[in-house]
Amino acid sequence: MISPQENIILVGFMGTGKSSLGRLIAKKTGRRFVDTDHLIVESQGREISTIFKENGEEHFRQIETSTLETLKPFSGLVIATGGGIVTRPENVPLLQKQGFVVWLQADEEEIFRRVSRNSKRPLLQTEDPRKTIADLLAKRRPLYAAVCHFSIDTTLLTHQQAAEAIISEESRRLSVQNRA
Ligand code: S3P
C-alpha cells in the first residue's frame, strides 16, 4: 500500500511567495494545492479586503481558524496560509499537527518591493506601509519561528531552487523518521 503523502504547509509574511511556491511544490510532488485565503474567498463569496472592511480583522481570523480546521482530514496537500495565521495561538497546534510546516522568509526590503506591486492587502492600507511591514515583521518573526519545522530564506533563490530545497528537506525528515 502506498502511504499517504504528508501535507506541506507554507507560513510566512505577505509577499514571501507562499502561493506561487506552493503551486510549484504541488506540481513537482503530485500534491494538491490549496490556499487558505482562496478557500475563505470562496466560502464567504467576498474578497478578503471586503471581509476586513465589513466585519473587521477578528472576524476574518475566526474564519481563518475554521478554514484550517476543515483541512484536518486531508493529506497530500500543499497548503499556503495567510501571513497572519500565526497570530492566533490556537492555530499553532492545528498547523503543526497537519503537516510539515515551512516558514518562508525574505528580507524586509524585498517584501516591501513584492507587496508594493499589489494594493489589495488590507493591513497595508496605512500612511506608511513600509513601517507597518517593519512593525508586523518584528511581532511575527518569533511566531513563525516557533511554529515552523523548517525555515528557508527565499530572498536570493529562484522559485525552482526554493521548491527543491523544501522538497528535499521533507524527504530527508521522512527518511529519518522512518529509520527511528
Ligand atoms: C494577512 C495576509 C494576507 C491575508 C490577509 C491578512 C496578514 O495573506 O490573509 O490580508 O495578516 O498578514 P497573504 O500573506 O497571502 O498576503
Q: How far is the CA of 78 from the centre of ligand 1 (A)?
A: 17
Cell of 59: 472576524
Backbone angles phi, psi at 49, to 5 degrees: -60, -35
Q: Report pLDDT digits (tens) over 52-69.
A: 999 999 999 999 999 999
pLDDT-derived band at 141 (thresholds 50, 70, 90) equals very high
Q: Measure the CA–CA gap between 95 and 19, rounded to whole angstroms.
A: 17
Q: Is the CB of 83 under 6 A from ligand 1?
A: yes
Q: How many residues does the chain have?
A: 180
- For residue 117, what pLDDT is reported? 83
Tell me the C-alpha to C-alpha distance, in Å, between residue 74 and each of 5, 6, 128, 169.
10, 9, 40, 21
Q: Measure the CA–CA gap between 88 and 175, rounded to whole angstroms.
A: 32
Q: Is the CB of 48 under 6 A from ligand 1?
A: yes
Give, using CA atoms, the residue closest to atom 5 of ligand 1. 82
Probe target for ligand 1 pocket from 36, 120, 121, with the most ligand atoms within 8 Å of CB: 121
The alpha carbon of residue 122 and the mean position of all alpha carbons in its chain are separated, in whole angstroms, by 17
Q: Report pLDDT digits (tens) over 15-44.
A: 999 999 999 999 999 999 999 999 999 999
Can you tell me which atom of ligand 1 is nearest the CA of 140? 12
Task: Supply the pTM of this predicted model.
Answer: 0.96
Cell of 156: 536570493
Give, using CA atoms, the residue closest to atom 9 of ligand 1. 82
Q: How far is the CA of 79 from the centre of ligand 1 (A)?
A: 14
Beta pairing class for 8-12 and 100-105:
parallel
E strands, the chain, in order: 8-12, 32-35, 77-80, 100-105, 150-153
User: 97 near 26, Cβ under 8 Å?
Assistant: no
- For residue 120, what pLDDT is reported? 81
Q: Is the CB of 8 under 6 A from ligand 1?
A: no
Q: Report pLDDT digits (tens) over 74-119.
A: 999 999 999 999 999 999 999 999 999 999 999 999 999 999 887 7
How many C-beta atoms surround the C-beta of residue 153 within 10 A?
14
Answer yes or no: is pLDDT of 3 > 70. Answer: no
124: helix, strand or coil = helix
Q: Is the CB of 129 under 6 A from ligand 1?
A: no
Give, using CA atoms, the residue closest to atom 10 of ligand 1. 121
Q: Is the CB of 14 under 6 A from ligand 1?
A: yes
